[in-house]
Amino acid sequence: MRVLILGGDGYLGWPTAMYLSARGHEVAVVDNMARRGYDNELGAESLVPIASLQERVAIWEAVTGYKIAAHIGDICDYTFFEPVVQDVQPEAIIHYGEQRAAPYSMIDRRHAVYTQTNNVAGTLNVLYAIADHVPACHLIKLGTMGEYGTPNIDIEEGYITITHKGRTDTLPYPKMPGSWYHASKVHDSVNIHFACRIWGLRATDLNQGVVYGVDTEEIRLDERLRTRFDYDGVFGTVLNRFLVQAVAEVPLTVYGEGGQTRGFLDIRDTLACVELAMLNPAGPGEFRVFNQFTEQFSVLELARAVEETGRELGLDVQINHLPNPRVEKEAHYYNAVNTSLLSLGLKPHYLNDTLLESVIHVVQRYRHLIKPHLIMPQVNWRETGNPLVKKETAAD
């Protein structure tokens, strides 16, 4: 198939490009390098050094013989994006191309407005480009389980059948986003659903849990093909932070009591899920929602798993409870349905399948690059001012 991957330089975008390319698909990627710019802004960087997109594309072709076409530009700029879609004529668009960090969106007003403008406007451009130029194209959009929040009922896959005052209907599942970023994803879902209804587009919304892992079959071909590994307090996922802290022998930073429960999955399963969605497309006019995760853990359960694995490897791992910078329930019911992708044939990798040990070994290899001060939380949901900028005082 002809596949266009938006955000093809990112943590998931680049491994997806290699994965599909290796399986014979004609792959093109789009990226505006904004994610690398966020690192410059925050004074952070991937723990694992990553080559430029152009370098990785060249290395991939040299190692495998497969080509990946790279288009450098912003999907929010329609004068750039529309010609790309016209040229590639994709049969599937895989949309990772958004600002994806909740803490980044909560830094201050400017970052909140940027996140929502960037994410919502970019997705609208994608929808119009599909409708105008490739109406049969299947949009596979990366959503997030964070759209749902933590309701006191089971989380269904996108829709819920309810009976109210004697009448029954199937409606989109209620959303309770936990940040301006998650709210942008909710807006995306509403917009994509609307476009499917009015234009007959076909779309799959992959409401993904937290992804972990550093290795895929393609990455193992050459160390220069690695994807990024974020561990800082803004872009680093909870498990990445814990693994880096374990190796650096810094106490694991559990927010509050650590009862917050979420869905998780291995990066290899993300790639498999995307391919399953692509090979089994939604029908015309269908807005399909898959909950994309394989296991559920609380933050404290993850910390204890890292603690146990670290100690088996001779690391002195301690757990430290910090005041929670987020506004969220710490003790809550959480039971989400995730049957659709399993029914399509997903064969999950599980966290206890030596995954933690293998990732720790990669972190140990790059231990000399760890900057412990980046790990601590600096963004507080309850504050509106930018905590990353020095505040002026009367004395200043």
Active site residue 185: yes
Residue 334 in any domain: the answer is no
Domains contained in the chain, number:
1
Q: Minimal CA–CA distance to 70: which of 89, 91, 56, 83?
A: 56
Residue 59 in any domain: the answer is yes
Residues 6+ apart with CB under 8 A from 118: 34, 76, 98, 99
Question: CA 96, CA 81: separation in Å to the nearest integer?
Answer: 15
Host domain of residue 116 = 2-216+266-294
| Residue 124, number of CB atoms within 10 A of its CB | 18
Residue 313 in any domain: the answer is no
Question: CA 95, CA 100: separation in Å to the nearest integer?
Answer: 12
In this predicted structure, what is the pLDDT of residue 201?
A: 98
Question: CA 51, CA 38: separation in Å to the nearest integer?
Answer: 16
Q: 144, 150, 253, 261: which one is catalytic?
A: 144
In this predicted structure, what is the pLDDT of residue 355?
A: 79
With a cut of 70, list the residues of the chain below it in pLDDT.
Answer: 354, 389-396
Question: CA 160, CA 183: separation in Å to the nearest integer?
Answer: 20
The single residue listed with the structure tokens 């650096």 is: 248
What is the CATH number for 153?
Answer: 3.40.50.720
Question: CA 169, CA 161: separation in Å to the nearest integer?
Answer: 6
Beta partners for residue 172, in sequence order: 159
Active site residue 144: yes
Residue 68 in any domain: the answer is yes
Active site residue 64: no
Beta partners for residue 140, in sequence order: 94, 204
Three-class secondary structure assignment of the chain: CEEEEECCCCCCHHHHHHHHHHCCCEEEEEECCHHHHHHHHHCCCCCCCCCCHHHHHHHHHHHHCCCEEEEECCCCCHHHHHHHHHHHCCCEEEECCCCCCHHHHCCCHHHHHHHHHHHHHHHHHHHHHHHHHCCCCEEEEEEEHHHCCCCCCCECCCEEEEEECCEEEEEECCCCCCCHHHHHHHHHHHHHHHHHHHHCCEEEEEEECEEECCCCCCHHHCHHHCCCCCCCCCCCCHHHHHHHHHHHCCCEEEECCCCCEEEEEEHHHHHHHHHHHHHCCCCCCCEEEEEECCEEEEHHHHHHHHHHHHHHCCCCCCEEEECCCCCCCCCCCCCECCHHHHHCCCCCCCCCCCHHHHHHHHHHHCHHHCCHHHCCCCCCCCCCCCCCCCCCCCCC
Q: 181, 212, 231, 334: which one is catalytic?
A: 181
Locate 334 and state its tokens.
Answer: 């959480």
Question: CA 84, CA 82: separation in Å to the nearest integer?
Answer: 5
Supply the angle between the helices 355-365 and 238-248 in degrees, to the nearest 10: 60
In this predicted structure, what is the pLDDT of residue 327?
A: 97
Residue 358 in any domain: the answer is no
Locate 151 and state its tokens.
Answer: 């309701």
Residue 240 in any domain: the answer is no
Residue 286 in any domain: the answer is yes
In this predicted structure, what is the pLDDT of residue 352?
A: 87
In this predicted structure, what is the pLDDT of residue 258?
A: 97
In this predicted structure, what is the pLDDT of residue 396?
A: 47
Question: CA 191, CA 46: separation in Å to the nearest integer?
Answer: 33
In this predicted structure, what is the pLDDT of residue 130?
A: 99
Q: 185, 231, 294, 334: which one is catalytic?
A: 185
Q: Which pTM does this prediction carry?
A: 0.96
Residue 246 in any domain: the answer is no
